[in-house]
Structure 1
Amino acid sequence: MRLIALNKPFGTICQFSPHETRASLADWVKTPGVYPAGRLDSDSEGLLLLTDDGALQARIAEPRHKLVKRYWAQVEGAPSADDLKKLARGVDLGDYVTRPCRAEFVEPSESVWQRTPPIRFRAAIPTTWIQLSITEGKNRQVRRMTAAVGFPTLRLVRVGVGALDIFALGLAPGEHIDVSVQAPWNGIA
């Protein structure tokens, strides 16, 4: 059983099949027989786990297992503590209401790599980094949540799955390593 942690670069699609205009996982991971455990949109970046074990893939990806996934979102504007409370309580997105989550401000360290291309910069509009820790992971959920409370996401980085942390793993965009499935610290097995 293999478990691979990849720092998925911006613009990469979460499939191994070639794509005519975008990089795919095959551009970064040459290990045969592994598949993503969950997905990240092409315009999101950060920690993506891949495995060759279907049960482990389900344990990581399916919301019923309530494995926490942590995202750093650089949002347009300056949300208040009350705005973070709205996110934490759960947000009505029209087609569903998100589960309660943890929402907090974060200061991006120098560990956060530069994105290529960079986000748009507007001098008159500040940006703020927040961390959302969720257990669902529905399609574009974090982006939809921040937009619903008035702060569109400009950049989204998954920084953690369970106890695995992209910064502790020391992975630059496009880098990957094997991680132990049995390690008690990873909170996955």
Structure 2
Amino acid sequence: MTEQTTHRHFIIYKPYGVLSQFGSNDSKQQSKRFLGMLYDFPEGIMPIGRLDEKSEGLLLLTTDGKMSDFVNSQKVEKEYYALVNGAITEVEIECLKAGVEIGFEGRKYQTKPCKVFKLDKDPNLPERSKKIRDARHGPTSWISIILNEGKFRQVRKMTSAVGFPTLRLVRVRVGDMHLNNLQVGDVVEVQTFF
């Protein structure tokens, strides 16, 4: 008879400048900040998907590899709010929706169709620790991008492909899990994700 393992699950608001991993012996990474600095996580914990160092927002962590595989499969939507450089128009939004060509692992990759829309007003997000350029440098736009895939730095590459580089990127939702009122660096243990 096998003993059933009790898995643990966490949602966190990953801050800007923190890597989505747990430490490194690499001397080049000694000055980097890792997830383990936010909380005393249990052994075997892993992030489900990643947010790059300059991205922030909702990150799910689990000790359950099957849960990780399920979320990383293309069945679970991930929603991002991206602040882009410039006044984006419906033309570029339609291009993003249809899919754009980006570079991935040294090859060209066509992103899958996705949901994209311009936000009517700035989202109510905590201020970022590192200042973002202000309106004196020209207009900016907030957009929502909802993907079922997640290639490395995909959202940033997509907005750049249509001429609107991302200035700030925040993941606000994974499936039914929302950032809600979490503040930067908050860690909450949950019973399950779905």
> Normalising to structure 2: TM-score of the pair?
0.87
Match for 2:157: what amino acid? R
Q: Does 1:7 align with 2:13?
A: yes
User: What is the CA distance between 1:122 and its match in structure 2?
Assistant: 5.1
Give the whole-Å Cα distance in 2 for the aligned partners of 1:144 and 1:127: 17
Q: Does 1:76 align with 2:85?
A: yes
Match for 2:111: what amino acid? T
| Equivalent runs, 1:79-98 vs 2, <5 Å | 79-94=88-103, 95-98=108-111
More strand by share: 2
Unaligned runs of 5+ in 2: 1-6
User: What is the CA distance between 1:3 and its match in structure 2?
Assistant: 1.4
Give the whole-Å Cα distance in 2 for the aligned partners of 1:51 and 1:29: 14
Give the whole-Å Cα distance in 2 for the aligned partners of 1:51 and 1:36: 7
User: What is the CA distance between 1:2 and its match in structure 2?
Assistant: 1.6
Give the whole-Å Cα distance in 1 for the aligned partners of 2:70 and 2:137: 44
Hey, which bits of structure 1, 4+ residues long, moved more than 6 A?
Answer: none
Give the whole-Å Cα distance in 2 for the aligned partners of 1:171 and 1:23: 20
Q: Does 1:30 align with 2:40?
A: yes
Give the whole-Å Cα distance in 1 for the aligned partners of 2:86 and 2:8: 41
Match for 2:14: what amino acid? K
Give the match for residue 151 of structure 1. Answer: 164
Give the match for residue 149 of structure 2. Answer: 136
Structure number, greater radius of gyration: 2
Give the whole-Å Cα distance in 2 for the aligned partners of 1:30 and 1:62: 28
Q: CA RMSD in A?
A: 1.3
Unaligned runs of 5+ in 1: none
SS of corresponding position for 2:30: coil
Give the whole-Å Cα distance in 2 for the aligned partners of 1:35 and 1:15: 8
SS of corresponding position for 1:79: coil
Superposed CA offset, 1:64-102 (max 9, x none)? xx2100000000001111211110001111510001000
User: What is the CA distance between 1:22 and its match in structure 2?
Assistant: 2.0
| Count of residue pairs the alignment pairs up | 178
The percent of aligned pairs where both chains have the same amino acid is 40
